[in-house]
């Protein structure tokens, strides 16, 4: 009887650990809502998920640097103008999250981007920093089109 109890306890602990490991963090949920707002063409919802001083960085063209310049402006107004224009220019672009991994306030996302004017599909590695349930930095680290 003790053996069955020990086995049951071990199974319960294993299932609990697996559920905990698979539970989505609050930061991952924010990233999913942010990407979904992009896919839904909800520019106001997209902007609302970012902090007022959020920055977005695109990798330099060479493969030696991880982060390039900020592409969306230096304040909330510039960011809003940038993304309103981006939404208007790219109404069919879709971002699909392939995999998310969070450590504290950083969320690494492997994404598949499709629907661009060139018709290509791109695999992208993006890192989001989430604080107080808001995106505060986005780094587009690597992009490979196919």
Tell me: pLDDT of 21 over 50: no
User: Six-digit token pair at 129?
Assistant: 């920093």
Distance between CA atoms of residues 73 and 95, nearest Å: 22
pLDDT of residue 18: 46
- Mean per-residue pLDDT, 119-132: 92
User: Six-digit token pair at 132?
Assistant: 């107080």
Q: In this predicted model, what pLDDT tens digit does every residue of 31-77 receive, in sequence order?
A: 999 999 999 999 999 999 999 889 888 876 655 556 666 777 777 88
Residues pairing with 107 in the sheet: 102, 128
Distance between CA atoms of residues 25 and 34, nearest Å: 14
């Amino acid at each position: 009887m003790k053996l069955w109890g020990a086995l049951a306890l071990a199974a319960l602990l294993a299932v609990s650990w697996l559920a905990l490991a698979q539970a989505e963090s609050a930061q991952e949920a924010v990233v999913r809502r942010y990407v979904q707002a992009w896919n839904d063409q909800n520019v106001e919802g997209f902007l609302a998920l970012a902090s007022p001083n959020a920055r977005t960085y695109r990798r330099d063209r060479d493969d030696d640097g991880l982060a390039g310049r900020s592409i969306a402006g230096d304040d909330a107004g510039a960011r809003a103008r940038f993304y309103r224009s981006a939404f208007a220019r790219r109404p069919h672009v879709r971002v699909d999250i392939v995999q998310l991994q969070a450590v504290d306030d950083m969320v690494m996302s492997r994404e598949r981007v499709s629907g661009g004017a060139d018709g290509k599909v791109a695999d992208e590695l993006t890192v989001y920093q989430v604080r107080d349930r808001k995106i505060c930095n986005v780094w587009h680290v690597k992009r490979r089109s196919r």
